[in-house]
A = this chain, B = another copy of it.
């Protein structure tokens, strides 16, 4: 029903997560009203994504340089590594401004399929070479994330480096009445003296 090239772009948008066919139609119509300059810039940015963005050779975060901005920042604490699943997790930590160490992006969690793809041996290499004093296992508090953290803790043990896991408890703004059992159990176990 749509012209071919219009439909093609709709298909591209609706194949993205959280974007249904209706929203895709609206987006394409909205974009179609852009001036040529803005549209070309959008198109070029997409193309650049693959050409300009690569993995940091040390932490495997996304980067335009060989070494990402965090790894190449000599003011950061080089002795702490925070291990996360995905690049967006790095952004989440950076937004808190509470962590000044380095990261290591695994690229996912351990599942039956992908055990090989995760950057675990690369993490071990980093632990070998540098004066690392602490590894924070910051995988998600999900079944897969927990399994990955346990596996990593065991793999790291021979290095005799302090290994920590993020605190579990009630999220800020949360409601005890609606908290699930696992969260509330974590909050009780991890309670602190005031």
Which one of B32, B45, B69 lies within 8 Å of A49 (CB-CB)? B32
Q: Does A12 contact B (CB under 8 A)?
A: yes
Partner of A1, one of B9, B30, B91: B91
Q: Which of A34-42, A131-139, A152-160, A180-188 forms contacts with chain B?
A: A34-42
Q: Which residue of B lies closest to A25 (CB)?
A: B88
B3 touches A28 (CB 8 A): no
Number of copies: 2
Q: Which of A1-48 contact B (CB under 8 A)?
A: 1-6, 8-9, 12, 16-19, 23, 25-32, 34, 36, 39-48
Knowing A12-B45, A26-B18, the reply to whether A3 touches B39 (Cβ < 8 A) is no
Chain A residue total in the interface (Cβ 8 A)? 49
Which residues in B have their C-beta under 8 angstroms from that of A68? Answer: 3
Partner of A16, one of B6, B27, B62: B27
Contact B3 A88 (CB under 8 A): no
Please indicate the chain B residues that have their CB under 8 angstroms from the CB of A27 in the complex: 16-19
- Fill in one digit per residue for A48-73: 1 if any B CB lies within 8 Å of its CB, else 0: 11101100000000111000110000
Residues of B with C-beta under 8 A to A122:
none
Are B32's CB and A62's CB within 8 A?
A: yes
B16 and A49 within 8 A (CB): no
Q: Check if B40 sits within 8 Å of A9, measured CB to CB.
A: no
Residue-wise, chain A 64-100 has the 8 Å CB interface mask toward B (1 for contact) of 1000110000000000000000111001001100000
